[in-house]
Structure 1
Amino acid sequence: MLDIRPIPAFADNYIWMIVLPDGGAVVVDPGDAMPVINTLQRLNLQLTAVLLTHHHRDHNGGINQLRDWAKSNGQSFTVYGAVTSDYSDVLCRDGDTVDISGLTSPVRVLSVPGHTLDHLAFVVDNALFCGDTLFSGGCGRLFEGDAGQLYDSLAKLASLPDDTLVYCAHEYTLSNLRFALAVEPQNQCLQDYVKQVNNLREANKPSLPSTLGTEKAINPFLRVDTATVHAAVAAQAGQKVPDEVTCLALLRRWKDNF
């Protein structure tokens, strides 16, 4: 089983670190270098690889400082990212698999446009690192892509096994769940999950990882195929909802203004 640890950054980011048995570490979306450097030094680890999900600065802003720090210590690491990223040493495309020293299985690459056009997700064993595409109880804003792209991306992620662990990049869960309750107030699974997350946050613990099985039961953006979400969206928008992509677009607009 992977040893995955959260490194808090900024107000609500998580930089995820996979601690490898050989003393190496793989880091996902290091938007800030110093929390990563401090963790590497505290655990006496060597950074061997970085996975970048997309180009927003709170996800890639620490790369150059990490490279300078590694070089000063006689080390180096490989950055795996989108073909559009200036930081990428290895250009990743949908369906690629990459081998990283210290990981017992290859990393699978998924293209998941919507939040940004070049957004990637990475699957390592049963762990999904999905950046800002899927959040617990929510999804990322449409900064570059459209609702059709986001719908396909979420469907791609939802096709993974239900026990897949979801490591998204922000602690947005409670805020997302408040919106989810507005959409599906009678959803018992959602009500139970709110209690669970409240307990975790009151104990100052991350709400993550979630699981895809949980998200399919509580996340309205993965439930646009249900009658309850359709009805709620239609009532809020004051219009008919002819299909799931339209439902997702209207749901995202509702959340943007919630």
Structure 2
Amino acid sequence: MSTLAYDGTAMLGRQLRRMRNNPGLLIITQTMPVSMLLFFGYVFGSALAVPGAAYRSFLVPGLLVATAAGGVMTGMFQSAQDVHRGVTDRFRTLPMSRAAVPVGQAAADLLVTAAGTVPFLLVGLAVGWRVEGSVLDAAGAVALLLLFRFSCVWIGIHLGLLTRNEEAAGQLGGATFLLPLLSSAYIPTDGLPGGLRTVAEWNPISAVATALRDLFGNAPVPEEAAWPVAHPVAGSLAWCAVLLAVFVPLAVRRYAHGKR
């Protein structure tokens, strides 16, 4: 087994134990999407008309992607916490791969997200959402969702290593709640003013949300939209590739060199 694989597996175990020892945060992150689904679905569902789809069928994929985008906040807080408490400096003194710690953190988050997606989907089914596409397409939607979450966590890891303070990271991470609001996660973008619609359609969340709706068979792909939304699967994969290509090297380099 390579050094990165061996050390990364050790850091994966450490991160999972860390999450287990902080059940409050885990419960909040897992129950918040369900609460939002019930709130938006029943409070706003009757007031919003979505052409071609019931609002809850439109909402479930959007909330899945909005939750995945929350990986920015989670990754940022956890990495900043390790730096602030001196854990990262202690890891740097050990004879281990410099990529092992961020890789372990991202992998652990991916496993927890995959497990947390199951109860969310079950609640979605309970409130009327249905998978109207093929099983293969639905599996592709879940895989795409997890890839996007993995990409977002790397953004958070890099930003957390930059802030180096868990309080600052928590405050900055709160701003990530604005990202889904500037996308098609909750409402269609075709009714937005021109400039705001352009921003929303080039938001990666819009591409991934549209791709999930298409793969689940919940809503058609908009015919007139920016390229990532008009070609949502290709656009989502392109966004994930760009985010990983940029932030994985940045996060690993930042971790390896610390303040330098």
Q: What is the TM-score with the length of structure 1 in the denominator?
A: 0.23
Task: Indicate the structure with greater helix content.
Answer: 2
Higher RCO structure, 1 or 2 (CA under 8 Å, sep 6+): 2
Task: Indicate the structure with greater strand content.
Answer: 1
